Structure formats: structure tokens, C-alpha cells
Structure 1
């Protein structure tokens, strides 16, 4: 685990190919299965992520937002079988992400084992109303996301 003032990164080796993990990460309808924060409820009929610039919508729930809400996730990183990341935007400003990013980096160790790193970075958050809530997701919750990802990739 690596932690700075504005980011947390956790890593683990998952017993699956980088391709299988990437295929799961790029399918928003399955994101609830590996959400260690407990906020993700379901995708809003989003298509598979195909590249930088794509936007997928997630239905969420959390006390920090007063219950149910939607996030518009703008894909910021895409390198097939190696990396995928996105910056969320709240519904009222759905075209302008708030400055935090989720980034999954995959490093194949061999055909059936991949080191997966998950980075939660809020270094570009500038809204003074949002800053006090960061980090909203803990390192333990990020670790749980990777544990759940490992389970989900073995149960297609």
C-alpha cells in the first residue's frame, strides 16, 4: 500500500489473466460486484468501456450524498489489458468531473497471474465543499475491492 496526502494505492496478485481482469473492469454492469466501498448499486445500462472519452453512469447510494445518487464516470485511462481509469462527475455537473480518479493498473506476471493496483487519487479536487470528505474511501475498502475483484473474475 502507498499513501500520500491526496492518494491511496493498493496492490495484490490475482489468479487470473490480465485480459480476463480487464474484461471485467471494462464492463460497468459488473462494477457492483467488486466495490469495496459499498456505494455502487448498479450501472445505468452502460456499454462496455472502449476507450478514453467514454462515459458510463452508475447508480450509487451513500449517507455522504443523502441517499441515492448518480455518478457520470469519464474514462481517463485506457490501455487494453494494462490500465483503465475514470473520473466521476456528480449528476448536477455531469460533464465536469470533480477531480478524483479511480485507476486500475494491470501487470501480467504470467498467463494466469496478474498484479493489480488500484489507485484512488483526489489530488485535483478543488471544490472547497468537497475537499473535507476526502478520502471518502479507506485503504481497507480499496483492499476489499481487490479481494472482491479476485472473486468476481473467477465467477463470470
Structure 2
């Protein structure tokens, strides 16, 4: 269950092998109501009455909290990648706005019937708004918090 990681100036990627089949992991990842369980950052409070993620183009809303936003806030998460049991990705935006460029990508690669390599990428390369870049110090979520998310996901799937 070793965690691998790779960090650049605009992207953090962490990977871990799970002793679970990809469909079980994907089931947790595509249900926003379970995202609080897997969040290693501590920012997620709850989902906002959202349905399961089933396709690109969907938007799900999360209730969040954090000093970087002055307390409680909401995000709209625009699904930009979906491939059943292998990929789910979304770009996050303050509620009611278009995504300014950062995204979360979860990739699942089956390695036998009960083993799956899970890769989580936090990428902010597409953020170009200079005012935003001055206000928000990327990355907002650290590599260790992403690793915590993988650990939390493993617990959520096993539970």
C-alpha cells in the first residue's frame, strides 16, 4: 500500500494500490455525499443534495469551509472527465461562477480482480487569472493532504 507521488509547479499527483476492485472504489468516488469521508484537506462540510456522478457535463455542489475563503462557502464542481470504473474528474469553481482552472482527476487502473491502482491529481496549470493567483496561494491542498485522501478513500471503500 505504498504511496507514490509526483509534484511539479502546477500539479501534484499521488498514487496508491488498493486491495479492492475498481467498481467498488468508483462507486464511492462518484457519490458526492461520500466526499467528506475521503477529503484529506478538511475543507468539505457536506454535499448539497447532489446525485451520483454519471457523465461529463454534470455539476455537483459542495458545502465547504476554510480560512482561505473567510469561512463557509459553496463550490460548483463541473464534471470534465468520466469513464465508468476508470476515470472521474471535475473542475471546481466558487458557486455560481465558471471554473477558474483547477481540477481534480481520479484515475483507477485495475490490477487483477481485487487490486486497483488509484491516482489522484490536483492540477492548477490552467489558472491564469493574475488577481486570483495573487489572492490564492496554490496549491491550496498539500501533497500530504492528497495522500490522506487516498488513505481515507481506502477506509471508506473497506468500510
Answering whether residue 9 of structure 2 is matched by residue 5 of structure 1, we say yes
Using the TM superposition, give the Cα deviation of residue 130 of structure 1 relative to its aligned residue in structure 2, in angstroms.
2.4
Q: Name the residue aligned to 1:26.
A: 30
Structure 2 residue ranges without an equivalent (≥5): none
Post-superposition CA distance 1:60-85 (Å, at most 9, x none): 00000000000000000000000000
**Aligned-residue RMSD, C-alpha:** 0.8
Q: Name the residue aligned to 2:59.
A: 55
**Matches of 1:144 and 1:92 in 2, distance apart?**
29
**Matches of 2:70 and 2:131 in 1, distance apart?**
15
Runs of 4+ residues deviating >2 angstroms? none
Count matched residues.
Answer: 153
Structure 1 residue ranges without an equivalent (≥5): none
Relative to the length of structure 1, the TM-score reads 0.96
Using the TM superposition, give the Cα deviation of residue 27 of structure 1 relative to its aligned residue in structure 2, in angstroms.
0.2
SS in 1 for 2:88: strand
Answering whether residue 104 of structure 2 is matched by residue 97 of structure 1, we say no
**Matches of 1:86 and 1:53 in 2, distance apart?**
9
